[in-house]
Structure 1
Amino acid sequence: MQGNILIVDGISTNRIVLKVKLTAAFYQVVQAGTVVEALEMITKHKPDLVLTAMNLPDGTAADLCTYLRKMPQTATLPVLAVASSHNPERRLATLRAGVCDVMNKPVNETLLLGRVRNMIRAHRTFAQWQLREDTNCALGLAEAPGEFIRPIAVSIIGNEAAPLQGWVRQLLPHMRASYCVTLLNEALAALNAGAPPDAIVLALPDNLSQSDTCLRLISALRASALMQDIALLVIQKTEDPLQATSALDLGADDVMTGGFEAAELAVRIDILLKRKRQLAHLLQSVHTGLQAAAYDPLTGLYNRRYAMPYLSGLIERSAATQISFAVIVADMDHFKRINDLYGHASGDAVLVETARRLRRAVRGSDMVARIGGEEFLIALPAADVITARSLAHRICDAIGGTPFIIPGAADPVHITISLGLAMSKAPFQAERGIPETPSTLLDHADKALYAAKMQGRNRVNFSLSQASPAA
């Protein structure tokens, strides 16, 4: 199914007509006759879109939307209203309540389906990122949204400058913004020349060839990495359902089919920009959560959560390519003494400096992770025994060769590290079907590390993964 839609109308025949149109387009439809029933159905069925009549037996489309916006679970659920007659004041009030659009009867089926596709697509994109952000919240990784909202910049594009400048004058009382008027044939160059605007208003000309240019511009903007997330609203001077549907399908966020109306345009831009800001916050929150999930906050190295799946992938690639790799487990020698003598802040400083030296000692393709208090894991892709040994000794020298300057210590402190090295399985072992996992690799490297500690520390001990640790 294309999506789940809730139809809300007090008149059953109206619901049936809409249901026939939507089910023919492969949408799953549920129905309600009142605001109360609608809220119950939303809780039960979790639709992707609510399609409601303006007037309901126990309220209005605006009332329904107001209820939805108060609940976190439904705050972003798109609502599309259908009105029996054109009433500009009521239409504007309904949009301000949070309804995405108001379509007047008779509803054009092509435009209706275009609107539905556009709204469900936007809702699902938002919902997917919201799910990731909710996970971050559960893990304590999300950040509160910033309060500061900078002044917005709006670019108005069309084929004649004078009418568009008139639009700007009419918009100013309704929305404070920095406005820029650009001719259609200069739009793409102008938009790429400076900082991108927050919103673009595209006046669709009546001329067929120029309107096609406008539609191609929408496509070009959505293909641009700089422009793909800008709020994009199209205004039709003359209503054309096919063109409006094309604009929505090509990536326009909204279409005003009834021509320019300053107050309504201001409301629509405000709604689009709020949605874009919410989505941007979700993306940033998810990025922050991913950073926190994969990186050690003290050293900036990868953490164990990242390192173990990485090793699994390395094992798979090695089996497929028959190219060996190596794993090193490294542990700081007598690290507890640092904390005891100089304090935990000094111990943290040693760990940060150790991480810096580790990164400098390995190759760009190697993965370095902090997997315990003073324990590190280094994975060396595409490394043979000679390369792995050489890198391991380089790491040992990088830590022990230069004393550490530690806060609280009068003189630089000599610190060393012990390393256990294990190689991936040889091809003949893989052919025998002997399983290799991150855990078995780490076990061999740990045993080699233990042997290095027993032999006096500040050294590398090597173990083939199929053999016991070498002394």
Structure 2
Amino acid sequence: MVARILVVDDVPANLKLLEARLSAEYFDVMTASNGTEALALARRTDCDLILLDVMMPDIDGFEVCRRLKADPLTFHIPVVMVTALDSPDDRNRALEAGADDFLTKPVPDVVLIARVRSLTRLKMMVDELRMRAAASIEIGMLAPDPSVMADAGKGGRILLVDDSKSSYERLATILAAEHTIEVEPNPSEALFHAAEGNYDLLIVSLDLKNFDSLRLCSQMRSLERTRNVPILAIADPENSTRLLRGLEIGINDYLLRPSDKNELMVRVRTQIKKHRYVDYLRENLQNSIEMAMTDTHTMLLNWRYAEVQLKVAATNAIAKSERLAFLFLDVDNLKIINDTYGHSAGTDVLKEVSVRIRKSIRGIDIGCRYGGDEFVIVMPQTDLHVGSLVAQRFVRSIAGELFSINGGERQIAVTISAGLAALTGTNDSAKGLFDRADAALLRAKADGRNRVVVDNG
């Protein structure tokens, strides 16, 4: 996928130059000649990166960046300041406004393209998570958390990998004012240390003695437990070639020595904020997946998910000539409970049945709410005899202990009926198994309820 870059500069010659550079690398380029136009374009187009000049006539670049980072529609778009300004104060002001980087004109082509590629690659990864999170919100699963945008990027856990004592002592002292910092002076132990800790940021010196720091960064990117943790590289100015290689490997940001204290703090905050935002999106996605699989009243799996698992389990069992049992359950007279004690009492009963199901099944079993007052349990590696013993024990456990309803104000007796079936051979199927268990359940209810009926094929 081609990344779309928005270039903002009030000088036409600068616009044409940057557009030509980026187009030659097959980026899709849009341009804006002032801050107002840039803000409007960023809101209505899907751009992947904004290259932003500072000195513009209507709104300066610092203010444009602040507005972009305060807007939920553009908060996630990386911004790189490209300007003739080169003082540390200007750099820090840009970073504090929310910029991801600050490049001083004239910018060498190789530096510009490497930074653009690095930031757009990370942006596209975030976009995939955002798209899935947005889909969850649209169907009413989860609401966005405004506090994510307001995160200050402080209070992070940082691992500093540096074998120069004077360097790591200075960096650790500065960072300790806002973060928890751990130092690993032995590069050989750094990967294990990074994998064992739950870090928000990894800071790696590219000037390690007798150790390939880029290989360490590459290993951090390939290891699952550290793959998504941002890496901030610190290097001497003469190491610019290795820095560019590091951006290709997956380094998120870098700082040149001698590092300015304020710039260090701002870059660290920026990376921690991004990491927390991505973690929020991943957690949002995981919660959405779990909610899509789960019945919200009972917190058991829902039938939509369990039906797929039943088909998979039946197919595998038939192919391997293994056993598989299917138990269909129905709470007896739930309508009478609802009519007598209220629907909240009926909900209490369903929740308690689900709790007892979870306590009764094995790790390989699949328990779910089928709908209404019905539940199912899929039992791999289980024949009719064992399945019948499980079903009988469960029916007795339901009848043998009273159910608390209406907040514990009352206790009532509840019973359950069950129909059990098992695979009969290679010509059987998930549907056949389901239908036979369903028919057995109907017989259990017709025969007086509070019992198990086994389908013998």
The structural deviation recorded for 1:161 is 0.9
Structure-1 residue corresponding to 2:401: 403
Contact 1:218 1:252 in 2 (8 A): yes
Taking a change above 3 Å as real, the CA distance of residues 315 and 226 of structure 1, as seen in their structure-2 partners, is closer
1:65 maps to amino acid:
C
Taking a change above 3 Å as real, the CA distance of residues 426 and 189 of structure 1, as seen in their structure-2 partners, is closer
2:264 maps to amino acid:
L
Question: For 2:10 and 2:307, how far apart are their aligned partners in 1?
Answer: 57
SS in 2 for 1:380: strand
Structure-2 residue corresponding to 1:460: 452
SS in 1 for 2:10: coil
Structure-1 residue corresponding to 2:307: 308
Question: For 1:246 and 1:253, how far apart are their aligned partners in 2?
Answer: 12
Residue-by-residue CA offset, 1:18-65 (whole Å, 9 max, x unaligned): 344434433333333333333343344311112233334543332332
Structure-1 residue corresponding to 2:167: 163
The structural deviation recorded for 1:75 is 0.8
1:55 maps to amino acid:
M
Structure-2 residue corresponding to 1:191: 193
Contact 2:8 2:32 in 1 (8 A): yes
Stretches of structure 2 that go unaligned for 5 or more consecutive residues are none
Residue-by-residue CA offset, 1:86-143 (whole Å, 9 max, x unaligned): 2322222111111110112332333323222321232223222223333333314347
1:8 maps to amino acid:
V
The structural deviation recorded for 1:170 is 5.4
The structural deviation recorded for 1:269 is 0.8
Taking a change above 3 Å as real, the CA distance of residues 123 and 397 of structure 1, as seen in their structure-2 partners, is same
| 1:271 is aligned to 2:270 | yes
Residue-by-residue CA offset, 1:392-449 (whole Å, 9 max, x unaligned): 444434434x23353689998553221234556853477xxxxx76xx8655544442
Taking a change above 3 Å as real, the CA distance of residues 406 and 180 of structure 1, as seen in their structure-2 partners, is closer
Structure-1 residue corresponding to 2:107: 107
Structure-1 residue corresponding to 2:75: 75
Contact 1:328 1:379 in 2 (8 A): yes
Question: For 2:21 and 2:410, how far apart are their aligned partners in 1?
Answer: 81
SS in 1 for 2:372: coil
TM-score (norm 1): 0.80
The structural deviation recorded for 1:389 is 4.8
SS in 2 for 1:278: helix
Taking a change above 3 Å as real, the CA distance of residues 21 and 441 of structure 1, as seen in their structure-2 partners, is farther
Question: For 2:225 and 2:242, how far apart are their aligned partners in 1?
Answer: 25
Residue-by-residue CA offset, 1:339-375 (whole Å, 9 max, x unaligned): 4556656544543442343344444322111122321
Question: For 2:28 and 2:266, how far apart are their aligned partners in 1?
Answer: 31
Taking a change above 3 Å as real, the CA distance of residues 223 and 248 of structure 1, as seen in their structure-2 partners, is same
1:121 maps to amino acid:
R
Taking a change above 3 Å as real, the CA distance of residues 163 and 188 of structure 1, as seen in their structure-2 partners, is closer
Structure-2 residue corresponding to 1:241: 240
Residue-by-residue CA offset, 1:234-278 (whole Å, 9 max, x unaligned): 122224332112222333221124641111111111111111222
Residue-by-residue CA offset, 1:280-339 (whole Å, 9 max, x unaligned): 222333333333332234433212342233334445546766767443321011234444
Question: For 1:277 and 1:137, how far apart are their aligned partners in 2?
Answer: 19
Contact 1:182 1:190 in 2 (8 A): no
Question: For 1:226 and 1:283, how far apart are their aligned partners in 2?
Answer: 14
| 1:47 is aligned to 2:51 | no
Contact 1:350 1:404 in 2 (8 A): no
The structural deviation recorded for 1:376 is 0.4
| 1:450 is aligned to 2:451 | no
Contact 2:195 2:226 in 1 (8 A): no
Residue-by-residue CA offset, 1:366-389 (whole Å, 9 max, x unaligned): 211112232102223455555555
1:88 maps to amino acid:
P
- Greater alpha carbon shift after TM alignment, 185-194 vs 123-132: 185-194
SS in 2 for 1:248: helix
- Greater alpha carbon shift after TM alignment, 383-392 vs 121-130: 383-392
| 1:200 is aligned to 2:202 | yes
Structure-1 residue corresponding to 2:415: 416
Contact 1:5 1:30 in 2 (8 A): yes
Equivalences, count:
452
1:201 maps to amino acid:
I
SS in 2 for 1:327: strand
The structural deviation recorded for 1:225 is 4.9
Equivalent pairs: percent with the same residue? 28
1:276 maps to amino acid:
H
Question: For 2:250 and 2:191, how far apart are their aligned partners in 1?
Answer: 19
Q: Please, what is the CA RMSD of the aligned residues?
A: 3.7
Contact 1:111 1:244 in 2 (8 A): no
Contact 1:171 1:263 in 2 (8 A): no
Question: For 2:374 and 2:263, how far apart are their aligned partners in 1?
Answer: 61
- Greater alpha carbon shift after TM alignment, 218-227 vs 298-307: 218-227
The structural deviation recorded for 1:73 is 1.4
Question: For 1:424 and 1:395, how far apart are their aligned partners in 2?
Answer: 21
Question: For 1:425 and 1:66, how far apart are their aligned partners in 2?
Answer: 67
TM-score (norm 2): 0.83
Question: For 1:423 and 1:180, how far apart are their aligned partners in 2?
Answer: 57
Contact 1:303 1:370 in 2 (8 A): yes
Structure-1 residue corresponding to 2:9: 9
2:37 maps to amino acid:
E
